[in-house]
Amino acid sequence: MAIDGLAANSTVKQAPLRDRTRDRALIRIWLGAVIVMVIAMIIVGGATRLTGSGLSITEWKPIHGVIPPIGDVEWQEEFDKYRQIPQYELVNKGMTVSEFKQIFWWEWGHRLLGRLIGVVFFVPFVLLWATGRIERRLVPPLLGLFALGGLQGGIGWWMVTSGLADRVSVSQYRLAIHLTIACFILAGAVWISRGLAPDRGENRKNAAPLKGMATFLVIVVFLQIFLGGLVAGLKAGLTYNTWPLMAGNIIPDGVYDYDPKWRSVFEDVMTVQFDHRVVAYLLFIAALIHAFQAWKLAPRSPAARRARHLALLVTAQAGIGIATLIAVVPLDLALLHQFGAAVVLWAVVAHRRAMNEPTPVTT
């Protein structure tokens, strides 16, 4: 009887053990594609702003909006909707349908890319989850990232609506929030992906004293990106196109002159550009200090190498920013500067995450 029971038990098939190393590599490839697409989205969003295209589509159609106008009649209908808003009347009056198409395609492409990111995130997520390749502890942060992406779509439309009635451009407040949320999505994807990377012998005991400055750098990068959104929203980069002096001084006369003063930080072109410069100096100095700190406390370590590379990236980004300002914001340099900001964010978040222990393997 016991022998029969043993034989029966031996025929029970055990659930196959998952190869979590392989699963995580697959997840990192998927998240890598999402990261690249989000960076592309940030760049296209910048181009949409710089070309004045963001208000060319005056309706939000999450599903039907995938299909652009087809034929002369539909193009004329779309153009007629645009002609009803202040931007056309005060900025682009007399624009032809052909000229309208040029700004329409930028905004349409921006929205299409946003939809594609949603598909590229959601479909593989469902497939990977359904086949058991996503560990249980990873599901909540990934779902949170997807929810943040959905919220970002709503924020994008909220931003557009600010320019459809009483303005000729979108609110700088809403634009800065929209850009910052995009960067939170980018940072979240980088953080999760870096936590799944194989442990390559990182000496976290030596790197522990570096965590504080690395965290500070992440905060400063986010602050600088938010300020960059304000600069873009107010077109502040088209003014005071000299460096290192601004209006003939290191600290220009008239900065923070609004009443109350806090409004200057968000609404005064001079103050917004000045703040963007000051935080850039802060970021540059902090990155150099961090690289030196890493060299002293954790020499020849992966953390020291990353800190050195981060300092070089920040230096390059500062140079691109200065060149963009002096050249009065040409499209190519401005987009390169925006791309540089996304790369710096990617690098600083990955650097900070690598100082923590990798995400533990679970079922």
Listed in sequence order, the residues at least 6 apart from 250 whose beta carbon sits closer than 8 Å to its beta carbon are 244
What are the two backbone dihedrals, phi and then psi, of residue 185, each rounded to the nearest 5 degrees?
-65, -45
Output the CA–CA distances (angstroms, integers) from residue 237 to 50, 51, 222, 230, 295, in the order listed.
Answer: 11, 14, 19, 10, 36
Distance of alpha carbon 174 from alpha carbon 271, whole angstroms: 18
Q: What secondary structure does DSSP assign to 272-341, as a single string?
A: HHHHHHHHHHHHHHHHHHHHHHHHHHSTTSHHHHHHHHHHHHHHHHHHHHHHHHHTT--HHHHHHHHHHH
DSSP symbol at 179: H
Q: Which of 327, 223, 231 is nearest to 280 (CA)?
A: 223
Q: DSSP assignment, residue 256? A: T
- 3-state percent breakdown (helix, strand, coil) of the chain, nearest 5: 70, 0, 25
C-alpha–C-alpha distance, residues 127 and 142, integer Å: 13
Q: Does the annotation flag 110 for ligand binding?
A: no
295 contacts: CB under 8 Å, gap ≥ 6: 304, 307, 308
Query: Is 290 assigned a ligand-binding role in the annotation?
Result: no
- Binding-site residue positions: 276, 337
- Binding-site residue positions for heme: 276, 337
